[in-house]
Structure 1
Amino acid sequence: MKLIYLLPLLLLTTPAFSQEKADSAKEPTVIKGDYRDDWADLRHYEPENKTLPPATANDKRVVFLGSSIFEKWKELVPEYFSGNKNYLDRGISGQISPQLLLRFRQDVINRKAKAVIILAGSNDIAGTTGHVTNERIMDNIRSMTELAKANNIKVILCAYLPVFDYPWRKGLEPANKIIALNKLITAYATANKLTLLDYFTPLVDNRNNGQRPELTLDGVHPNVAGYKIMAQVTDEAIAKAFHK
């Protein structure tokens, strides 16, 4: 008796189920991009690079190549870059020196830069698993410098900003590591007659070799006041590089 009542119910629901299955089969399959092979995040600035006007012979295009220090700069003080049409910010948050090296052709050479500011090293130190050394960071800086020279691009190397501790990775004691790295960068810049851009000295808190509290957001990234100081020394370094 129960089967008699159940059979009509099944006959009523089966077509609806079949139609639903057919409709779902018509929906396009969405394939998400697999960017594991783009470890250096080359795609990050591809759209902006495509819309960038070609550089003229008289343009003195300067590329700021780095990580979050540069990326946050154009977020907090966008007028610094919009007011200097030849300044191209190519910072990507979290990047380490080998990623900057991989991006060098796309974001510096192919942009017809006349000068490049290379700010590298802190994220290597912050993300260290024991394999990162200052010498390996310097190898990447040397390679970028040699690429720039081969393409007649003036090189401006940065003495890195002071950091006492990383909020996201406490206890690494980066202050002395950054000081040691800056000594290597300074010596290399001097030996190769490169322009040195010192971000460390005007921002340092001499009590702990971190950043002065009134100039930083979190002890790592400058605030607006900090970026104003950076802007001044940056403009001076760029002027010096073009007069060498």
Structure 2
Amino acid sequence: MDGQRPALIKPGFFSIDAPADRRRNEFDFHNEALLFHQQPVDFVFFGDSITHWWDLATFFGRSGQTIVNRGIGGDTTEQARRRFAADVLQLKPRYVVMMIGINNTWALDTFLPSDRLTPQEICQQVTSDVEVMVQAALEQGIQPILCSLLPTCMDRYARNCERNELVIIINKRFQAIAEQTNCLYVDYHSRMTDADGITLRKELADDGLHPHVLGYQLMATVLRDTLSAHDISLGTSS
């Protein structure tokens, strides 16, 4: 056997039914491989299902850059914060592209009133967790790229309008965090809203939440253009 296994940060498992556990073994194996081979990482994309389902190799493929996807469907900011050291910091990427927080907003709609949170409580939860992760990345010399949450268009949820208003408030806080920490902010939201400035354009997602290929294509363009304005290159579409 050549070499020794690297010391590996593992966040462990969260609970019997935590979304963050669904890819834990996969990520631990892949993280170990990157560390074992001392593979320099250019970008880690970190987030929930919108990151998880983004086919990064297709959208950013022919660049020679190492681009790692560490999205987990259903992830909240609390779970993301607990796995950030394992899935971002120990990989030492040059950049981390962060988009996380929409799953926290389901606390507006929970079946049991006792489990519900106010928009103000959710905003505080999301932004405080994200700020911790941004600071942790900066302390390790990793450049955070903080991305806006996307609007939604889910009429089946009675509080969808309230959710979209909350998303705007959270995004303003994200932008303030980016300005205060001198990291980059990527505004997907304004390019993906309908004429009302709050609702997701219906032609960008089948379920009103997760972008399909046209939504991701627009996001890729916005992300590339934002980074290019700061002399950062991110792949080329294949």
Query: 1:44: Cα distance to partner?
Result: 4.2
Query: Post-superposition shift, 1:37?
Result: 7.6
Give TM-score, length-normalised by structure 2: 0.76
Residue pairs, 1:45-194, within 5 angstroms:
45-52=27-34, 53-56=37-40, 61-74=42-55, 78-84=57-63, 85-128=65-108, 129-131=115-117, 132-165=121-154, 170-173=157-160, 174-194=163-183
Describe the SS at the equivalent of 1:65: strand
Q: CA deviation at 1:237?
A: 3.2
**What's the CA shift for 1:219?**
0.8
Matched, 1:36 2:15: yes
| 2:116 maps to amino acid | G
Q: Identify which range, 139-148 or 36-45, moves more after superposition.
A: 36-45
Query: Which of structures 1 and 2 has the bigger CA Rg?
Result: 1
Change (3 A) 1:67 1:124: same
Runs of 4+ in 1 over 3 A off after TM superposition: 37-40, 81-85, 237-243
Q: How far apart, in 1, do the equivalents of 2:89 and 2:209 lie? A: 29
Question: Which protein is richer in helix relative to its size?
Answer: 1
CA-CA distance at 1:186 after TM superposition: 1.1
Higher relative contact order (Cα pairs below 8 Å, separated by 6+ residues): 2
Q: Is 1:233 paired with 2:204?
A: no
SS in 1 for 2:53: helix
- What TM-score, normalized by structure 1, do the two folds share? 0.74
Identity percentage over the alignment? 27
In 2: Cα distance, 1:235 partner to 1:218 partner: 25
Contact 2:153 2:201 in 1 (8 A): no
SS in 1 for 2:170: helix
1:218 corresponds to which residue? 207
SS at match of 2:74: coil
- TM-superposed deviation, 1:242: 6.0
- Per the alignment, residue 187 of structure 2 pairs with 198
> Do the aligned partners of residues 218 and 37 (structure 1) sit closer, same or farther apart at CA in structure 2, a change above 3 Å counting?
closer
Confirm or deny: 8 A CA contact 1:165 1:172 kept in the other structure.
no
- Gap runs ≥5 in structure 1: 1-33
